[in-house]
Amino acid sequence: MTAERKPSITLKLASPRGFCAGVDRAIQIVELALAKYGAPVYVRHEIVHNRFVVESLEAKGAVFVDELAEVPEGRPVVFSAHGVPKSVPDEAERRRMFYLDATCPLVSKVHREAERLHEIGRRIVLIGHAGHPEVVGTMGQLPEGAVMLVERVEDVARLDLDSAAPLAYITQTTLSVDETADIVAALKVRFPAIEGPRKEDICYATTNRQAAVKSFAGEVDAILVIGAPNSSNSLRLVEVAERAGCKRAFLVQRASGIDWAALEGARAVGLTAGASAPEVLVDEVIAAFRDRFDVRLEMLETVREDIRFKLPRALEA
């Protein structure tokens, strides 16, 4: 008796995908701090938006807290990759805490840009998602009221601003490139003199991962994005896939979350991972497909990434 033959399927694997340099640096900071100072090392908020990563670090001795008040005296604390309001390091300094800042350098760049614009007298419009830690951190670099948040094109018409006022816009680093371009266009129509950032705020990793998804969105029956439901860049990848013509685009945290019924009839599936999702979860999903299908794997590389960010001096030795 012969085993039943598995149906064939093609998995198109996006490259680049998964960890970006900022996420890799943030995780290294926690791991190196544990190695140098011993457990526990405290981390304010999720270091990156991925439960697998957070739980892996917890198993090594990291303790995640919401506020600095939860950190015992004498223990190191790490600030997450998303960045924090200025009030957080100010509080740490007042309490003479030893802290390591894992803010992505590209988020820090947006912070510096916001400060520069404020210093030269610009009112600032921030394109981003309300409540996201990066947005909270960016708005917290300046006095209350200095930054106005815009989430969608329709919000531009509701801005209570003089069109002749000196204005500038900045953006969250993990937005949809296309959707953000639409919002910027609307801002420029309403406020022709509005100033933009010197260099694009949406980070290279977000841009590259979205471009990779677009490259195969029209060639597959479905797309799976591995990432967390609170991960902005992962959610944007799903939206980008849908806008690029793939009607079956799904966010999954790991293989156990795949809705196989929703993939019924699919012969080609695109696979990518958000910037905070580790490669081990990609391997896990591929293995799950191989359990059910005769898999043909295609790697589709759109650009090669080789960016690395320096670690804090305290951890370099």
Is the C-alpha dihedral spanning 85, 91, 96, 97 positive or negative? negative
Tokens of 192: 């022709």
Do the Cβ atoms of 232 and 174 come closer than 8 Å? yes
Is residue 153 within a helix (H) or strand (E), and if so which, with residue range? helix 153-157
Active-site residue, 73 included: no
- What is the DSSP code (8-state) at residue 49? S
Coil/strand/helix, residue 54: helix
CA dist., res. 37 & res. 217, Å (int): 46
Of 134, 200, 239, 301, catalytic: 134
CA dist., res. 84 & res. 92, Å (int): 12
CA dist., res. 142 & res. 25, Å (int): 26
Place of tokens 């960010």: 309
Q: Collect contacts of 53-59 with beta carbons under 8 A, ≥24 apart.
A: 53/27, 53/276, 53/278, 57/27, 57/30, 57/31
Q: What positions carry a catalytic annotation?
A: 134
